[in-house]
Amino acid sequence: MISQTEENYLKALYNLTYLKGEASVNEISKRLEIKMPTVNSMMKKLSEKGLVHYESYKPLKLTEEGKKEAALIIRKHRLTEMYLVEKMGFAWDEVHQIAEQIEHIHSPEFFTKMDQLLGYPTVDPHGSPIPDHNGVMRSESYIFLDTCKTGDVVTLMAVQPSSKELLQYLSAKDLELGTTLTILSIEPFDNSITVSYGDRTSAVLSSKVTATLLVRPIS
C-alpha cells in the first residue's frame, strides 16, 4: 500500500529525475515545501519498500518499480487534466490543483472510463505525454526553446515545469500548444529571443520563459 503522501514524493522524484536521471533531498524538499529531514526519512522508507535507491549522501533514484508507480500516478494526473479540459470545460490553467487531488483516487474503473471517453489520448492539455497503463511514457524528442538558433521554425509542444503564472502569461500572449514560432533573433546579453507567430510579427520572450518551452523543430 502506497499512501497519498508517499505518492506525492514518488511523483516529485519522478519529475525531478525526468531529465537528469537523479535528484537530491534538497530539491524534493523545495518542490514539496517539506523540510529536509522529513524528506530524508521518507526516502529511507520508500527505499525499504523497494521504490527508491537510497544511499547516504548519494543522489536519489527511483527503482524500476518506483518509476512505474510514479508514472501511473502521473498518468492519472494527466488523464484527469485532459478530462477536466475536454469534457468539463475547464481552462488549461485551472485544472492542475484539482488533478493534484484526483490523481490519488483508487479506482481503476474510474480512470479507464476517463481514458475511454477521451479516446485514449497520448498527451495532456499542457502537451506532456500521458504514460500508458503499464507506466510507460512515450519518450518524445522535444527540445527547449532556449536551445534553438536564429531562423529555426518550431512548434510549441509542451511547457515544463508549468506554473499557473506561466500558463496565464502564455495565454495573455496568445501562445498555445501547437503554435508555430519563427526565431527572428537572439539577444546575446540576456539570451532573450525575438519570435514571430500568428498575428504577432515580433514578440520578445525572456530566457526564463524560453527555458520552460518544449518545442519540436519543423524539419
Partner DNA sequence: CTAATAAGTTAGATTATACTAACAAAATAT
Partner DNA sequence: ATATTTTGTTAGTATAATCTAACTTATTAG
Query: Which residues bind to DNA, rule: CB under 7 A?
Result: 3-6, 24-27, 29, 33-38, 40-45, 55-59
Can you say whether the dihedral through the CA atoms of 15, 19, 25, 31 is positive or negative?
A: negative
The entry of DNA, Mn ion, its own copies, none near residue 200 (CB within 5 to 8 angstroms by kind) is: none
Of 22, 100, 140, 152, the one binding Mn ion by CB under 5 A: 100
The entry of DNA, Mn ion, its own copies, none near residue 34 (CB within 5 to 8 angstroms by kind) is: DNA
Contacts (CB under 8 A) with its own copies, residues 61-100? 84, 87-90, 94, 97-98
The entry of Mn ion, DNA, its own copies, none near residue 41 (CB within 5 to 8 angstroms by kind) is: DNA
* Smallest gap from residue 104 Cβ to DNA (A): 11
Of 5, 26, 41, 101, the one binding its own copies by CB under 8 A: 101
3-state helix, strand, coil in the chain (%, to 5): 45, 20, 40
Q: Are 213 and 173 in contact (CB under 8 A)?
A: no
Q: Are 29 and 36 in contact (CB under 8 A)?
A: yes
Question: Is 152 among the residues that bind its own copies (CB under 8 A)?
Answer: no
Three-state DSSP state, 101: helix
Nearest to 23 by CA among 10, 41, 33, 34: 10
Q: Are 60 and 40 in contact (CB under 8 A)?
A: no
Three-state DSSP state, 123: strand
Gap between the Cα atoms of 20 and 31, Å rounded? 16
Rg of the chain (C-alpha set): 19
The entry of DNA, its own copies, Mn ion, none near residue 70 (CB within 5 to 8 angstroms by kind) is: none
Name the residue nearer to Mn ion (CB basis): 80 or 210. 80
Of 31, 75, 76, 96, the one binding Mn ion by CB under 5 A: 96
- Residues contributing to the site for its own copies (CB under 8 A): 84, 87-90, 94, 97-98, 101-102, 105-107, 109-110, 113-114, 117
